[in-house]
Structure 1
Amino acid sequence: MTNVEFSYSLNEHSKSLRPFAMRLTKDMDDANDLVQETMLKAYTNRDKFSDGTNLRAWLYTIMKNTFFTRYQRMLRRGTFVDTTDNLHYINSGDFSIENKAHSKFALDDIYKCIGALNSAYKVPFMMYFKGFKYQEIADELNLPIGTVKNRIHLARKTLKGDLKVYKTN
């Protein structure tokens, strides 16, 4: 395969790489960077591609490996290594472990407040919370969609007022 044919094939496959890059990175700019880096690596290593094999699979493998390498590099950058002779930073009491007990109390309070809601508000709110769309809730409960939206809004407003002690700002 000539360089021109290889470049043309790369260009044809670049469109199919974008959705895969988006699933990996979950960010459009990062996905575009990943596709670009994959294409660059594929072109610079075109001599390693064997004619007659699946170019698309080869590109997906390059992309996956590039993503994992980037991810591991990012994790290593966040790692702190104590190089002091007496391990001062490791032995200092500046680090503490959080046991997440406060989140259990908050969760208990949330469930208690939801349980205290009138069922006319609680049922649509819980259905919405579980992932139902407004129209699905309206159809299931035989209510107008405006009523469903209003009841969910009022339930959220009530919960927000009841749980204002947990507001972070």
Structure 2
Amino acid sequence: MTALEFSNHIQLAAGSLKPVAMNLTRNADDAKDLVQETLLKALSNREKFNAGTNLKAWLYTIMRNTFINNYNKITKRSSNIDSTEYLQYLNTDDSFVTVNKGTAAFVMSDIKAAIARLNEEHRTPFMMYYIGFKYLEIAEELNIPIGTVKNRIHIARKELKKMLQVYGD
């Protein structure tokens, strides 16, 4: 299928996307934006469409995934995640950790010291994961492959477990 034929098929199917977008977003402006973004993604990913398959279903899938991704971004932005430096992410209110606040203070200071001793390349992804970032978000933020993110978090956990062995079992 040529680019012109594909573009014509997309234009014909575009009309059926508007009611679905309206149903998803419940807002006329957001629905228009969603349809526009769906069509843009479809045109830019033309090579991923298999000729002879259902074009509308492919477009609906793109629209649904785009809507879900946008929704997740919005809810992620609106969540209350503190963006201060790493050690401030650890809970300093020791009251819920244990009844003995003296013991909790020692434990927290040991945890903070252990995290501070981690290599920067392991500490950064570990702390981002700790505060709620997903692996993919960490990979995008740090501009490294997702496998590297998983490996660095794994190594950080292993190192922390070794450093905090006194608190084990």
TM-score (norm 2): 0.50
Please name the residue that 1:55 is paired with. Answer: 55
Q: Deviations over 1:118-144 (max 9, x none)?
A: xxxxxxxxxxxxxxxxxxxxxxxxxxx
Alpha-carbon distance between aligned partners in 1 of 2:59 and 2:47, rounded to the nearest angstrom: 14
One-letter amino acid of the counterpart of residue 39, structure 1: L
CA shift in 2, pair 1:12/1:75, >3 Å? same
**For the residues of structure 2 that align with 1:90 and 1:8, how far apart are their CA atoms?**
60
Supply the AA of the counterpart residue of 1:75. T
**Gapped runs of 5+ residues in structure 2?**
94-169
Distance (Å, rounded) in 1 between the aligned partners of 2:27 and 2:92: 35
Residue in 1 that maps onto 2:16:
16
Shift of 1:79: 1.8
- 1:34 lines up with 2:34 in the alignment: yes
Cα deviation, 1:91-141, whole Å, max 9, x if unaligned, reads: 5xxxxxxxxxxxxxxxxxxxxxxxxxxxxxxxxxxxxxxxxxxxxxxxxxx
Amino acid of the structure 2 residue aligned with 1:11: Q
Computed over aligned residues only, the root mean square deviation of the Cα atoms, in angstroms, reads 1.9
Q: CA deviation at 1:88?
A: 9.1
Q: Judging changes above 3 Å, is the alpha-carbon distance between structure 1 residues 6 and 80 closer, same or farther for their aligned structure 2 residues?
A: same
Structure 1 residues 116-131: aligned runs within 5 Å: none
Identity %: 51
Task: Indicate the residue corresponding to 2:2 in structure 1.
Answer: 2
Structure 2 partner of 1:65: 65
In 1, distance between residues paired with 2:53 and 2:39?
17
Distance in 2, Cα, partners of 1:35 & 1:89: 43
Residue 86 to residue 65, structure 1, CA distance change in 2 (3 Å): closer
Distance 1:86 1:35 in 2: 42
Shift of 1:81: 2.2
Over 3 Å counting, the alpha-carbon distance change for 1:86 and 1:56 in structure 2 is: closer
Normalising by structure 1, we get a TM-score of 0.50
1:86: Cα distance to partner? Answer: 4.8
| Cα deviation, residue 32, structure 1 | 0.3
